[in-house]
Amino acid sequence: MTKLQLYYPLTPSNVSQPFGVNGSYYRANGINITGHNGIDYQAYHGQPVYASHDGTAYYSTDGKEGQGVVIISDKAYDLNGTDVFWKTIYWHLCDPAKEPKYKSPFYQTNRNSRVGKPVKAGEIIGFADNTGFSTGDHLHFGLKPIVVGPGIEWGDAPDVGIGNWVNVLQSNGTGGAVDPVPYFNGVYAENAKAHIANLTLQIGILTKVVELLRRLLSTKVVK
């Protein structure tokens, strides 16, 4: 089984609010969670936000005019010994209707449609802002393991209108979210293309070395 690896969605990735904190604040504001269900990163207005992994991207909004993109992983990855798909949430992005120059490549007029578009790690998916339930420009980044199931028609916008998926850990107190920190690979998403190319090159070199050693050992056995 393969563990999901995430690239940092912002450069730099300075945390302003970690995962799992300030539960009383959210409950006082009508959000029934035991703690923050993602990581908040410092960001300036209009700062590019990048996809943390390959997958299918969906543009979405919430009831408080929050704007964001949700990405479903391209394949299943390990969760405690079981392979599941994963969903990353990028929230409080600029509203293209108000600021066209910061239009997300995945923006749709029907913003809560079920139509997704393919995305690769490192592609720009939107621009940081302060839309929705927020007190300043930043990026909210969330991570949830998911499985195929009946389409969810309730809850916050990242759980609505993106196909037939169900959060595996919906009753865990954070709406199915888990701490993303253990899944980051230490590389910024904007450098993902170069990082992947370098890994591919290294794998190619190692493959050639292994093949050369195999031939040498085979030759010695024959003699």
Query: What value does the CA radius of gyration of the chain take, rounded to a whole number of Å?
Result: 20
Amino acid 206: pLDDT: 86
Q: Phi first, then psi: give them for residue 218, nearest 5 degrees.
A: -65, -40
Domains of the chain, earliest start first: 6-190 (2.70.70.10)
Could you give the dihedral angle defined by the CA atoms of residues 71, 77, 79 and 84, in that order, rounded to the nearest 10 degrees? 70
pLDDT for the residue 163: 66
pLDDT in single tens digits along all 223 residues of the chain: 799 999 999 999 999 999 999 999 999 988 889 999 999 999 999 999 999 999 999 988 888 889 999 999 999 999 999 999 999 999 999 999 999 999 999 997 665 556 789 999 999 999 999 999 998 999 999 999 998 876 555 444 555 556 678 889 988 999 999 999 999 999 999 999 888 888 788 888 888 888 888 888 887 655 5
**What is the 3 state secondary structure string of the chain?**
CCCCCEEECCCCCCEEECCCCCHHHHHHCCCCCCCCCCEEEECCCCCEEECCCCEEEEEEECCCCCEEEEEEECCCEEECCEEEEEEEEEECECCCCCCHHHCCCCCCCCCCCCCCEEECCCCEEEEEECCCCCCCCEEEEEEEEEEECCCCCCCCHHHCCCCCEEECCCCCCCCCCCCCHHHEEEEEHHHHHHHHHHHHHHHHHHHHHHHHHHHHHHHHHHC
What is the predicted pLDDT for the residue at 155?
A: 45
